[in-house]
Chains A and B, each alone.
Chain A
Amino acid sequence: MAAQESTRVEYGKALLQLGKENPDIVALDADLSGSTQTKHFAKAFPQRFFNLGVAEQDMLGTAAGLALGGKIPFASTFAMFATGRAWEQIRQSIAYTKLNVKIVASHGGVSVGEDGGSHQAVEDLALMRILPNMVVLVPADGPETRAMVRWAVEYQGPVYIRTGRMPFPVIYDEDHRFELGRGYILREGEDVTLAGVGLMVHHCLEAAHLLAQEGVSARVLNLSCLKPLDWQLVVDSARLTGAFVTAEEHLATGGLGSAVSEVLAEHCPVPLQRIGLRDIFGTSGKAEILLKHYGLMPDDIKGAAIKALARKNGR
């Protein structure tokens, strides 16, 4: 079995390393530095770490001010509170003038588990994707997390990175480099395209394996750069396979499913099935149980692929 890494843990390590390399990097947290993993940076660079207490709106505003002062702020808290509680601060104080603030939010999706629906962000990608000037990223493993954080330091402008609580298998090599606007083909196939973000990339890969056992060849995409989306890859894949499935630990509206729908509708309409929460909030429970409950498992993706294929074949 491949090594397992949690994207939030890898973020914490990456931030610490980059903090050593670049003295302009500062970090902010809203009383969750243990959960978001900014605690390592805080310990190493106490003068460059600002805990704002339980005050997410103030944290994002303070980050905007630090960016205006020439710093490269990384602001972290749970995805729900960063994007929900402080959405208007992100809009007005950060995105509106394209300030150089990096928001790295942990605990995206229902795999947060026991804390329940109040703490499971299932709308953060929609809330960030809708904002002009915002880049939206969802890493699928440790190397990709590290590459994205390193890239974000160099990029001038606001970036939202969603990290997860659960460890995922490692996909990419250690020297993986992130490119803005690029999606990745992780598995070649011709019958159907399975595209995911974060944990769901792994479930797409497993689904492709299950489909192969039934003679269906699935192309698997990691669309970790949700905005700007690699629309050319989406269109090319749709043209090649003629059937599409998106999978995300998020509402089926507003996130990856919507982004892909928009591209397909305009450029290459093919049957599309979206895996995600259907107009419903999360709930308490173990992550594995919740992923099953909300239909986010490899089997569910396989089922969606078969439906898309049936539509493609006119059945």
Chain B
Amino acid sequence: MVANNPIIYYINKTGVHTIVTKNCQEIPDISHLREIARQVRLDIIEMLFKAGSGHTGGSLSATDILVALFFAQMRLNPQDPCWPQRDRFVLSKGHAAPALYAVLSRLGYFPREELFTLRQFGSSLQGHPDSSCTPGVEVSTGSLGQGLSIANGMALASRLNGGGTRVYALLGDGEVQEGQIWEAAMTAAHYRLDNLVAVLDRNRLQIDGRTAEVMSLEPLAQKWEAFGWHTLEVDGHAFPELLAGLQETHGVKGRPSMIIAHTVKGKGVSIFENQVKYHGVTPSKEEYEQALKELHAA
């Protein structure tokens, strides 16, 4: 269980930032998280449609994971993005940037209007996360396979610094085909980084097709287990499972945790769900209108 009382910031039903501590038992309710996720998905669709380029499928598959992390798990202070005690997040699958940006703006890291400058010249929202221009983005990513090593380094620094900062990394499933991921997997276990939690967005699709066809990953959970990680599998769209999984990692000592979150690429918009095509394709006008209709009705 949690040794201290982590502060959680989230937006309550009236849209106001609220501080909750674990011992108050005021954990955000699930319907509230679902509502945030619905709004984040609306923002993602809006951003991608306006940008005209970007990654639709992987942003929507990662949305619930990001909402669970940022609204119900991590210690954050959006008013002070560099607050030293904050937990750290690495979006190793950097192409899901729209989802991260939508979450950050909803937390108040920057105004929501900025979302709709995504990928434009001079925008603070680069095509892939850039820590030098976006408040709340800890690490610049985009070239796959590099985020877990960086997260390891942050977790080592946190250990040296004391203070109990935890580090979270979100990986894509296609991404773990990169060899560096497995170097980093060994490192995290070797250095017993129990302040590190990786979540794997297991949506089973990558640009060229199904992961099983492009490059087999299974048995994935056994691989992480064999590499020395505390490994669990959850439904990446079910908040009770995501939150329980994240909570479980607090009790793990002496090794890093891997949460394999089973997801649906394009989740939330029927025409995008499980469609390889929408990895890196944005909605057309008709698709955009249908997506908004579906998400408004959800």
Hey, which bits of chain A sit against chain B, CB under 8 A?
A: 26, 47-48, 50, 52-53, 55, 57-71, 73, 88-89, 92-93, 96-98
Contact indicator B157/A65 (Cβ below 8 Å):
yes
What does DSSP make chain A's interface, helix, strand, loop or mixed? helix
Q: Which residues of A contact B156 (CB under 8 A)?
A: 26, 50, 62, 65-66, 69
B28, CB-defined interface residue at 8 Å? no
Contact indicator B157/A64 (Cβ below 8 Å):
no
B180, CB-defined interface residue at 8 Å? yes
Contact indicator B183/A52 (Cβ below 8 Å):
yes
Q: Which residues of B contact A61 (CB under 8 A)?
A: 146, 148-150, 152-153, 180, 184
Instruction: Identify which of A50, A55, A62, A98 contacts B150 (C-beta below 8 A).
Output: A62
Report the interface size for chain B: residues with CB under 8 A from the other chain.
32
Closest residue of A by beta carbon distance from B191:
A50
Contact indicator A26/B155 (Cβ below 8 Å):
no
Hey, which bits of chain B sit against chain A, CB under 8 A?
A: 88, 130-132, 138-143, 146, 148-158, 160-161, 179-180, 183-184, 186-187, 190-191
Contact indicator A92/B187 (Cβ below 8 Å):
no
Known A-B contacts A52-B187, A53-B186, A61-B180; A97 and B152 likewise in contact (beta carbons under 8 Å): no
Q: Complex: how many Å from CA A58 to CA B151?
A: 11
Q: Complex: how many Å from CA A152 to CA B149?
A: 23
Contact indicator A68/B149 (Cβ below 8 Å):
no
Known A-B contacts A26-B160, A48-B160, A68-B138; A57 and B153 likewise in contact (beta carbons under 8 Å): no
Q: Complex: how many Å from CA A48 to CA B159?
A: 11
Q: Complex: how many Å from CA A157 to CA B156?
A: 20
A231 CB, nearest partner CB in chain B, Å: 27
Which 5 A-B pairs give the minimum distances between C-beta atoms? A65-B153, A69-B157, A61-B149, A58-B183, A55-B183
Q: Which residues of B contact A73 (CB under 8 A)?
A: 153
Closest residue of A by beta carbon distance from B180:
A57
Q: Which residues of A contact B154 (CB under 8 A)?
A: 65-66, 68-69
Q: Which residues of B contact A89 (CB under 8 A)?
A: 146, 149, 180
What does DSSP make chain B's interface, helix, strand, loop or mixed? helix
- 17 pairs across A/B with beta carbons < 8 Å? A47-B160, A50-B156, A50-B191, A53-B186, A58-B152, A58-B183, A62-B153, A65-B153, A67-B153, A69-B154, A69-B158, A69-B160, A71-B157, A89-B146, A89-B180, A97-B139, A97-B140
A251 CB, nearest partner CB in chain B, Å: 26
Contact indicator A68/B146 (Cβ below 8 Å):
no
Count A-B pairs with CB separation below 8 Å: 105
Contact indicator A92/B140 (Cβ below 8 Å):
yes
Q: Which residues of B contact A64 (CB under 8 A)?
A: 139, 149-150, 153
Contact indicator B146/A93 (Cβ below 8 Å):
yes
Closest residue of B by beta carbon distance from A28:
B153
Contact indicator B142/A92 (Cβ below 8 Å):
yes
Contact indicator A93/B149 (Cβ below 8 Å):
yes
Q: Which residues of B contact A69 (CB under 8 A)?
A: 153-154, 156-158, 160-161
Known A-B contacts A55-B186, A93-B146, A97-B140; A70 and B161 likewise in contact (beta carbons under 8 Å): yes
Contact indicator A63/B153 (Cβ below 8 Å):
yes
Instruction: Identify which of A47, A48, A52, A97 contacts B130 (C-beta below 8 A).
Output: A97
Contact indicator B183/A93 (Cβ below 8 Å):
no
Q: Which residues of A contact B132 (CB under 8 A)?
A: 97-98
Closest residue of B by beta carbon distance from A88:
B143
Contact indicator A62/B149 (Cβ below 8 Å):
yes
Q: Complex: how many Å from CA A60 to CA B184?
A: 11
Q: Which residues of B contact A97 (CB under 8 A)?
A: 130-132, 139-140
Q: Complex: how many Å from CA A57 to CA B185?
A: 13
A283 CB, nearest partner CB in chain B, Å: 29
Contact indicator A65/B143 (Cβ below 8 Å):
no
A130 CB, nearest partner CB in chain B, Å: 17
Closest residue of A by beta carbon distance from B131:
A97
Known A-B contacts A92-B140, A92-B142, A92-B143; A68 and B157 likewise in contact (beta carbons under 8 Å): yes
Known A-B contacts A69-B154, A69-B158, A69-B161; A58 and B149 likewise in contact (beta carbons under 8 Å): yes
Q: Which residues of A contact B160 (CB under 8 A)?
A: 26, 47-48, 69, 71
